[in-house]
Structure formats: C-alpha cells, structure tokens
Structure 1
Amino acid sequence: MPDSTANMMDHLSKLIDDSPTPIYAKVKQAICQQIDSGEWQPDQRVPSELEMVRALGVSRMTVNRALRELTAEGVLIRQQGVGTFVARKKTHSALSEVHAIADEIAQRGHIHKAKLIDICQAKASMEEAMELGVRTNHRIFRATILHFENEAPIQIEYRVVNAELAPDYDQQDFQNNGAYTYLMTVAPMTEGEHLVEAVNASEKECELLQISASEPCLQIKRRTWCKEKLVTNARLISPGSRFQLFGHFKQ
C-alpha cells in the first residue's frame, strides 16, 4: 500500500469508534468526516475496497455497501476499472426562491465573478413580447452573462428585460452583480416562476461552460414580476455535474 494511501487509511480508522452503530454506517460517517474536513479533496482517489478491508479489519460486504451508498448519494464517484474518487460538491439553488447567484455563491464562502458576453437594446420579437406580456416592438434589453464560482464557469444567463421598467439596465456593473441590485431597486420582485428542464448545451455553450457535448445540463426558465408587470424573462443553463436544485417543503 503506497504511503499516501496508508496515511489516508490511518486517519480513517481513527474515526471509527466502538458505538453500536452498524459498521457500514460508521465507515460512511468516517469517510464523510474526512471529506468535510478537507482531508480528502474533490477528484482525489480514495483507497480501494480491498485496501479498506485490510486496513479497517471489516468485511468486503461492509465496505462495498458504504461505498455504494456514498456513490448513490453523490459523495463519491466510482469509475469502472479506474477507481473511486471524491465527488465535487454541486452548487445548488433553492427551487422555491429567487436569489442572486452571487449571493448564493458568497453564502458558501466562495468567490463569484461574472463576465458580460453581450448586451444590446432592441425591439421585442413576437416570442419575446408574448413572454414579457408586451406588444411587439416594445423596447427591451437582451443580455448574455457568464457566471463563475471560484474561477469555474457555473451558469450562462440569457436575460430579456423590459426596458421601460428598467431603462438603465445596460449601464450597470454586471461583473459585481450591479445589474441584479439595480433590478431589485427599480422594479422589486413581487412574484416569480420557474420551469426546470434537462437539456443539452449547444456547441457555443459547451465552450463557455468548459464541458463536453455529452454533459447533461439543467435549464431554468424564470420570469419575474413587479406587481402586475413582467420585468424579466431569463433562461439559465448550468452543467449538471456542478449544479443542483434544492427544495424544502412542509405542511
């Protein structure tokens, strides 16, 4: 067993106590503690089943169940013929709420950065007019923004804005989240809706997100209102391996 693996197993074994908890659950908990503490990093290869069996003195069935359940829960990734690796933690957004992605990233203790790809003022097409509840040729802004979390591209934002409700939208500081702050100031959101779909990114979107063409993506179509007027219509695309939606319901 290589020294690095032996060191990983030594730390892992020290986390397994004598409590009456099932052994497979204690192995799971120990692995999660190593990951949460930062001892085991994302994309790092973890010891094999056989190495764990020998080092921990437990059955292969026990280790297999622990690794299988952690893989199903998205904590680990198992690649046939290659090994088991620590999964990258996915970014998540609240399904029932609307927040600025910059704020969500900051709450995780990470760094947000945005790049304005394109913005223009135009007259609404028939489709855009229907989505915003305005007449064709109504003045709008079209913007494309790429968001990053810790230097990794996390989301492409395509946004159409009712220019009459937000006349200075194109003058905002997109890099530092000024556009979101501006919208919430001039037309504070009173209502919103989400439509979530699984999609394949276009060739250009794959290039921006730095993903392969086979990577599944999540698409969120979002509209927001200020009182009875539609302010924005947005389409947000994120790599499925880096992003997830979360909802909590109670009744």
Structure 2
Amino acid sequence: MTATPRFKQIQEYLQKKIESREWPVGTRVPTEAELCEQFSVSRMTVNKAVRDLVNEGWLERTPRLGTFVCQKKAESPLMDIRNIADEVQERGQRYHSEIVSLQSISSPEDVAMRLGMMLGSEVYKSEIVHFADDMPIQLEIRWVNPAHAPDYLKQNFSTITPNQYLVSQCPLSTIEHTVEAILPPPHVALHLSMDSRHPCLLLHRRTWSEGQLISAALLYHPGDRYKLSARAVLD
C-alpha cells in the first residue's frame, strides 16, 4: 500500500483542526518552521501543504503577520441551478432559512419587465435569507408569475426552498444568469450581516418552463463568503 505523501498528511492535520472548529476563523496557524519541526519534513513540503490550502480557500496569508484560518467560501455553479439547501448540506454544514416577507404585490415597472407582464399585474414576491452554519450566505428576492405557480404563497419556505418548489411544479427548460459585483444596499447588508462598504455578488436569474417565463430573482451573496463557478466543455 502506498503511503500518504507527507504534504497530504500535513494538509489533513490542518483541515481537521479547522473542520472541528478547534481552530475557528481568524486563528493564526503554526508557522512553516514550526510545522517543519513538528512533522520532521522540509520547508518545501510544508510550503506545498499550506499553499494548496490557501488556494482552496481554507487559509489566507497576511504579509508579516502569518497564516490564518479564513471563512471558506461557499460555491454555486453559474451554468446550472441547484437547490441551495442541498449545496449547504453536501458541504457538511447546517442549513436553515429565515423568511423576511411573502406576499402578493402589484408589479412595479421593473418587476413587470423582468417577468414580461403588464404593469400593475398581480405578482407573488418572496424575500428569504439562506444560512450555512448560522452564517447568512444568500439573500433571495424572487418574483413569481401566479398563473404558473398559483399555490406559491401557501408553501412553508422554512422547510422547502422556492427553487425546490418551483422545479417540482414547473420543470426548468431555460435559465438566464447575469452576475455583477456591487456594494450592497443597506437592507441587503443588514440581512447578510456584512459591512455595506464591502462588495457582494449579485446574481440576476430568470427561469422558464416549456417556453413560459416563470420567475425572476435577485440573489445577493457576501463577496468574502461566496463564489460562483462555471465549466464548459469545448469541442
């Protein structure tokens, strides 16, 4: 049996300390010299172990101060739609949500344009904060065409996500995503427990089912806790 490389052993040691929360976010980890002595390995071996964990988002280096445990960023696929509750739980974190509002509104101009409806038409609106380990990672503001999801407001969105419900009722055929980096409006910063001077990622999403435009959403994510990824296969 091939022995686990030494740099991997060091990585596993560091990750266990972080995942068990023995080393919470902000903890300064041992120096490379200290790890060299602890594991009886070369500086190059320790450097690779630490460098890989920095690249993977577990650690961050601060010049002249040291290496610290950082808030590992959650990640969602940009070219697909997944249930955020499943994403959080697959990362080994606890998921829950808080409903800010759930109501029927008369669509203002911007919402009517997003949904391709007449100005003033009835629209269902939900505003929900999604959490991972009690840390807010997404504020979801969604508008839904009642003609395609008439029971939307009757759902218990503390046990099911809007995405999960809508996909079960209106199977997706087309999605549209646009991403921008912005400074969060005050109410967004409040719900995401972030400084309004720090950037957030805003994902604009629209979804269709069998050619019908079903919903439009604004998904706000703290820039230091979240990232979006895409992968394409080229011919």
TM over 0.5: yes
The alignment yields a C-alpha RMSD, in angstroms, of: 2.5
Q: 1:161 to 1:31 in 2, by over 3 A?
A: same
Partner of 2:222: 239
When the two structures are aligned, how many residues end up with a matched partner? 227
Q: Which residue of 1 aligns with 2:231?
A: 248
> Are residue 39 (structure 1) and residue 22 (structure 2) matched?
no
Q: 1:122-155: per-residue Cα shift (whole Å, max 9, x none)?
A: 2222221111112112210122111111211110
- Is the 1:139–1:164 contact (alpha carbons within 8 Å) kept by the matching residues of 2? no
With over 3 angstroms needed to count, the CA separation of the structure-2 counterparts of 1:54 and 1:99, relative to structure 1, is closer
State how far apart, in whole Å, the 2-side matches of 1:157 and 1:203 are: 15
Measure the CA separation in 1 of the matches of 2:76 and 2:176: 14
TM-score normalised to structure 2 length: 0.84
Provide the secondary structure at the position in 1 that maps to 2:142: strand
Q: By how many angstroms is 1:237 displaced?
A: 0.7
1:226 corresponds, among 209, 227, 230, to 209
How far has the Cα of 1:80 moved from its partner?
3.7
- Give, in angstroms, the shift of residue 72 of structure 1: 4.3
Tell me the distance in 1 between the aligned counterparts of 2:186 and 2:112.
Answer: 27
Higher RCO (CA-CA < 8 Å; seq separation 6+):
2
Structure 2 residue 115 is matched with structure 1 residue 157: no
* Correspondences of 1:86-101 after superposition (within 5 Å): 86-101=69-84
In the alignment, structure 2 segments of 5+ residues that lack a partner are none
Identity of aligned residues (%): 34
1:216 maps to 2:210: no
Question: 1:128 corresponds to which letter in structure 2?
Answer: V
Residue 223 (structure 1) shift: 0.3
Q: 1:52 to 1:182 in 2, by over 3 A?
A: closer
- Give SS of 1:39's match: helix
**Partner SS, residue 32 of structure 1:** helix
Equivalence for 1:6: none
Letter in 1 for 2:216: N
2:167 pairs with one of 174, 184, 194: 184
